[in-house]
Amino acid sequence: MRKGRIGKALAALVATVGLTAGVAHAEKDPIKVGVLHSLSGTMAISETTLKDTMLMLIEEQNEQGGLLGRKLKPVVVDPASDWPLFAEKARELLAKKKVDVIFGSWTSVSRKSVLPVVEELNGLMFYPVQYEGEESSENIFYTGAAPNQQSVPAVDYLMNEVGVERWVLEGTDYVFPRTTNKILKQYLVDHGVAEADIRINYTPFGHSDWQSEVSRIKEFGSQGKKTAVVSTINGDANVPFYKELANQDVSAEDIPVIAMSVGEQELSGIDTEPLVGHMAAWNYFMSVPTKRNIQFIRQWHDHIGDKGRVTNDPMEAHYLGFNMWVKAVQQAGTTDVDAVKDAIIGVSVPNLTGGIATMMPNHHITKPVLIGEIQPDGQFSVVWETPGTVAGDAWSDYLPGSKDLIADWRNPLSCGNYNVETGECSGQNVE
Amino acid sequence: MSKEIPITSPHGRRAGAESLAGLLILLLGLLLAPPAHAAPFSDQVQALHTSSSADKAAAVKALGATGHPRAQKVLQAMLDGRLFHQVDGGTVVFAEKGGDGYQYRLTDAATGSDLGTAERWGVRRVKINNRLRSEVRQTLAALRLQNPEPEARLTAAEDLIGELDPDNTALVERRLTEESDPAVRAALEAAVGLARLDREDPQARAGAIALLDGSLYAPVRSRLETLAEEDPAPEVRKEAAAMLDGIHTRLAFFDGAETLFFGLSLGSVLMLAAMGLAITFGVMGVINMAHGELIMIGAYTTYVVQQLMPGHIGWSLAVAIPAAFLVSGAFGVAMERSVIRFLYGRPLETLLATFGISLILQQLVRSVFTALNRPVETPAWMSGSLQINPAFSLTFNRLYILIFALAVFFALLLVLKRTSLGLKIRAVTQNRQMARALGVRSNWVDALTFGLGSGIAGVAGVALSQLTNVGPNLGQAYIVDSFLVVVLGGVGNLWGTLVGGLSLGVINKLLEPMAGAVLAKVLLLGLIILFIQRRPRGLFPQRGRAAEG
């Protein structure tokens, strides 16, 4: 008996000391921000820029006095463009390094491999790249575009404003282009486009021999109906693709190409003179001359020490995600994941290109959709934009099986794929 | 028209008949001048500053009709994205990026007078989309049909095919009577013929079809196709169908030629990548997994050379070829001396060791040049294409690389067959002991042979830098293809590499239209496996005692 009481008292003492020590600790301890981007391998070309952006944002926040009176400390890891390694590094960040939030990932396959880990360990992750949709996770915040914020408006623009009747859906052979093209094909067929007027073609990652495909696009487009190419070609295969378009003299007036993942960064290595007029659909372009954007560009140039470096859409997505997280932490008064998760829904921050981005209950944000045409200097000039912002849709309205699903992470629903027909929540994340 | 009118003649002081004639011309000019001329030119330029695309298109047309000497300049600037308007006041200006990159230097578009500088957010680009761009291009084309250069006239005429409205049809018809260049004539005829197909009179339509004789322009074909099916007059339908037949036969021929060219050019790339390997693997028997990285080093050398000689992109490749040969060759010799020479006759160990080296080289490049792809510029003479006719053109980059691959091949053949180094290489590889007994320093020959193979890989890298991305992963993309070509061609036979590479390219291009790029590669691999089953030693097997061992 006596022994037990002593034991209990001791335990209580230890606990109290531990707790106060913990509190004291927390006050001077920095808030840890995990940065999960490939710094080597095929994706390094795109992802190192995002790592640098994140470091810049953290630095700026610290200059303004940090967050909740604490400094922010970046924890950078390199998953090396190796998808399983993304899961391992995410686990390392959450379990070992105890980060409060993760910003990271680029390809859908890397996100899909991180997803179960952040859910298991109840982490918080911000994903900054446009993607194919059909997903909603309690722990992931999608600050890039969903298909209804990018590819669908792009096709609408071509159909209504340019009068395109014949379509080439050209993509790299993996999940993002295949899902996007599935949605787009259904959308086109729903809008009365004949199957014979849709050509779908896939090429491997890093494809460099484009001559026959470009020649076939020319052939397909010479049948008397206005033709356009919707490109979901990813990564560095774009450079030889555009070079070949230029060499074979495919002009944007004849057969415009609208790209879903070519931004300023990808164009910076190409002579864009012959590509003038080809298009891209994004939610941000470096060329948009708002004061906020120009300040951001200057800050970026100062940070990176190179005036030639461009900014792009995923950088803005990180900017938005980071600012939303900061605001949510300030509102919640803590970095506790559950508190932040609740606080962030409804948080609004200004976009770089004007307008306001708001975090929706489905963990997607509202964004303006911009269509830009390539200029001789490698920048885009906006030729069309949505009148207001568009809320990201986790589940496509055009695919059977996904039309009836909605995501809402507020209580009491708190479900990523609630079926409005059956009134059920299947609890599964992926299709 | 009005630009011909000498409002203030420089020769105004000359008296008499000349000035009288001048006055007459002036009066005539004033009578003939279009009413739009009433508005000053600067107002017409200013009209481009409008948010409505329809108004902008009208303004472009009106600007073209003025014939003002600055009209072409303004329209071209609009096309090039150099035409802006000021946020305050909205004056339409030319804007060039100033010194620090955030400021713009402004010139008044209508008058050319200097307007000082503005902050980046002080000016907005006069927006232009594809529809407007084609409007501008047609307006410019009409202005340029008089250009003394036949090439400029040809692009102008081609821009007008299928785009003629009644206003400029007359203009083109007039031009057609004066045109002597056959290619420009054909384009003009296609343009006029297409425009005349809209006429009511079936006789006139049939006549217009005759004007389109054998034209390979795509708009002509698609128009004839609809005509052959839908025209109300049976004789027009028949005529169109007959004309289409001829066009299709010619097209089929050129399609075949195009596939062959695509195949050969892909083949030449494979061959270039494989040629160095034909020496290190084929001749020396070293399974060199770092071969791709030696190609990559050649490509990076091209990048460095271009950085060292800015402003001379046209010449950079000529410098890069020997430079890449030396750099990659030096890396090859270093590899041979430091690692490979200890592993001769132990293929598995060489494989692992060179694989390790390949990883080290990739990482080295990442540390020196970062993981980002490096932009290698394409010289002007390698861009664009050689237009044989509207349906068939050869892209210059592929054409030059095909020629280059053959040149490298024959140079290598000469080295091996005609030089003393070649003789020693062949001697050492066939019978090392005997060669040594005859006084050949076999170690030295090994190093040089490996260096030669590596140097050729570097040269291939120069060519590949023009086709693909120069990045740390460049080598990996070509290593498998290179081994395929060498194994298919027959190990140790340079001719095998030539035939193997080119035929792989052509077969790939024949399969691709049927199966798509991904499946074509799979099918091709299957075919090679079957072939190697039948002929394990490739197309050109080595004969003799050495091969049996």
- For residue A347, count other CB atoms closer than 10 A to its CB: 19
Total CB pairs under 8 A between chain A and B: 147
- Given this model, what pLDDT does residue A35 score? 97
- Given this model, what pLDDT does residue A1 score? 43
Chain A neighbours among B 200-229 (CB < 8 Å)?
A: 218-219, 221-223, 225-226
Residue B13 resides in a domain? no
Q: CA-based angle B166:B167:B170, to the nearest 5?
A: 80
What 3-state DSSP class applies to A199?
Answer: strand
Give the distance from residue B497's alpha carbon to the nearest chain A alpha carbon, in angstroms: 20
Residues from chain A that touch B222, judged by Cβ atoms under 8 A, are 222-224
Residues from chain A that touch B518, judged by Cβ atoms under 8 A, are 173, 202-204
- Dump strand ranges (E) for A204-250: 227-232
Co-location of B324 and B442 in the same domain: yes
Is the backbone peptide bond immediately before A412 cis, with ω within 30 degrees of 0?
yes
Co-location of B189 and B292 in the same domain: no
Across the strands, what pairs with A257? A229
Residue in B81, B124, B262 nearest the CB of A289 = B124
- Given this model, what pLDDT does residue A60 score? 96
Chain A neighbours among B 380-399 (CB < 8 Å)?
A: 383-385, 393, 395-398
Residue A378, by phi and psi: left (phi above 0), alpha (psi -120 to 50) or beta? Answer: left
Chain A neighbours among B 42-101 (CB < 8 Å)?
A: 79-81, 101
* Complex ipTM over 0.85: no
Residue in A212, A249, A271 nearest the CB of B385 = A249
Residue B537 in this model has a pLDDT that exceeds 90? no
Residues from chain B that touch A48, judged by Cβ atoms under 8 A, are 370-372
DSSP 8-state assignment for residue B279: I
Co-location of B425 and B521 in the same domain: yes
Q: CA-based angle B508:B514:B515, to the nearest 5?
A: 75
Chain A neighbours among B 111-130 (CB < 8 Å)?
A: 120-121, 124-125, 127-130
Kindly give, in sequence order, each residue whose CB lies less than 8 Å from that of residue B307, ignoring residues fewer than 6 positions away.
Answer: none
Residue B482 resides in a domain? yes
Best residue in B372, B386, B402 for a mutation probing chain A (most A CBs within 10 Å): B372
Kindly give, in sequence order, each residue whose CB lies less than 8 Å from that of residue B465, ignoring residues fewer than 6 positions away.
Answer: B298, B299, B302, B303, B376
Residue A24 in this model has a pLDDT that exceeds 70? no
CA dihedral A269→A272→A273→A278, nearest 10 degrees, is: 170
Residue B33 resides in a domain? no
Give the distance from residue B383's alpha carbon to the nearest chain A alpha carbon, in angstroms: 6
Co-location of B53 and B157 in the same domain: no
Co-location of B186 and B321 in the same domain: no
Banded model confidence at residue A11, pLDDT cuts 50, 70, 90? low
By CA distance, what is B133's nearest residue in A? Answer: A253
- Please check whether residue B137 touches A, CB under 8 A: yes
Residues from chain B that touch A161, judged by Cβ atoms under 8 A, are 129
Sole residue written with tokens 């487009």: A221
Quickly list H helices, B419-493: 420-430, 432-437, 442-464, 474-489
What 3-state DSSP class applies to A360?
Answer: coil
More confident residue, B127 or A342: A342
Co-location of B162 and B72 in the same domain: no
Residue in B258, B366, B371 nearest the CB of A215 = B258
Residues from chain B that touch A162, judged by Cβ atoms under 8 A, are 130-131
Residue B209 resides in a domain? yes
Residue B281 resides in a domain? yes
Contact B513 A39 (CB under 8 A): no
Residue B385 resides in a domain? no
CA distance B69 to B67: 6
What 3-state DSSP class applies to B151?
Answer: helix
CA distance B259 to B15: 69
Across the strands, what pairs with A359? A365
Distance of CA B120 to the CA centre of its chain: 34
Report which residue type is found at A305. G
- Given this model, what pLDDT does residue B507 score? 93
- Please check whether residue A173 touches B, CB under 8 A: yes
Residue in A201, A223, A246 nearest the CB of B383 = A246
Tens of pLDDT, residue by residue over B211-263, are: 887 788 888 888 888 888 888 888 888 888 888 888 889 999 999 999 999 99
CA atoms within 13 A on the CB side of A97: 24
- Please check whether residue B169 touches A, CB under 8 A: no
Residue B36 in this model has a pLDDT that exceeds 60? no
Co-location of B259 and B309 in the same domain: yes
Burial of residue B413 (CB within 10 Å: 0-12, 13-18, 19+) is middle
Least confident of A145-154, B167-176, B284-293: B167-176
Distance of CA B72 to the CA centre of its chain: 27
B105, B152 contact by CB (below 8 A): no
- Six-digit token string for B229: 């099916």
Co-location of B261 and B310 in the same domain: yes
Quickly list H helices, B310-346: 313-338
Tens of pLDDT, residue by residue over B312-367, are: 888 999 999 999 999 999 999 999 999 999 998 888 999 999 999 999 999 999 88
CA distance B349 to B35: 86
Co-location of B228 and B274 in the same domain: no
- Given this model, what pLDDT does residue A391 score? 95
Residue B30 resides in a domain? no
Residue in B121, B127, B372 nearest the CB of A291 = B121
- Six-digit token string for A417: 């794929």
Tens of pLDDT, residue by residue over A190-238, are: 999 999 999 999 998 888 889 999 999 998 998 888 999 999 998 778 8
| Domain limits for position B70 | 41-130
Chain B neighbours among A 359-388 (CB < 8 Å)?
A: 373, 375-377, 381-384
Co-location of B202 and B95 in the same domain: no
B445, B439 contact by CB (below 8 A): no
- Please check whether residue B307 touches A, CB under 8 A: no
- For residue B514, count other CB atoms closer than 10 A to its CB: 9
Considering chain B, what is the average pLDDT of its residues? Answer: 84
Co-location of B198 and B102 in the same domain: no
- Please check whether residue B417 touches A, CB under 8 A: no
- Please check whether residue A252 touches B, CB under 8 A: yes
Kindly give, in sequence order, each residue whose CB lies less than 8 Å from that of residue A423, ignoring residues fewer than 6 positions away.
Answer: none
Co-location of B307 and B340 in the same domain: yes
Residue B18 in this model has a pLDDT that exceeds 50? no
The domain boundary, picked from B130, B164, B188, lies at: B130
Q: CA-based angle B141:B144:B148, to the nearest 5?
A: 145
Sole residue written with tokens 């900054």: A128
- Six-digit token string for B183: 């290619």
Residue B411 resides in a domain? no
By CA distance, what is A273's nearest residue in B? Answer: B80
Domain count, chain B: 3
Report which residue type is found at B103. Q
The domain boundary, picked from B200, B232, B264, lies at: B232
Report which residue type is found at A266. E
When pLDDT is averaged across residues A251-274 and rounded to a whole number, the result is 84
Sole residue written with tokens 């084309």: B141
CA dihedral B253→B254→B259→B260, nearest 10 degrees, is: 80
Tens of pLDDT, residue by residue over B126-153, are: 888 777 888 888 888 877 887 788 888 8
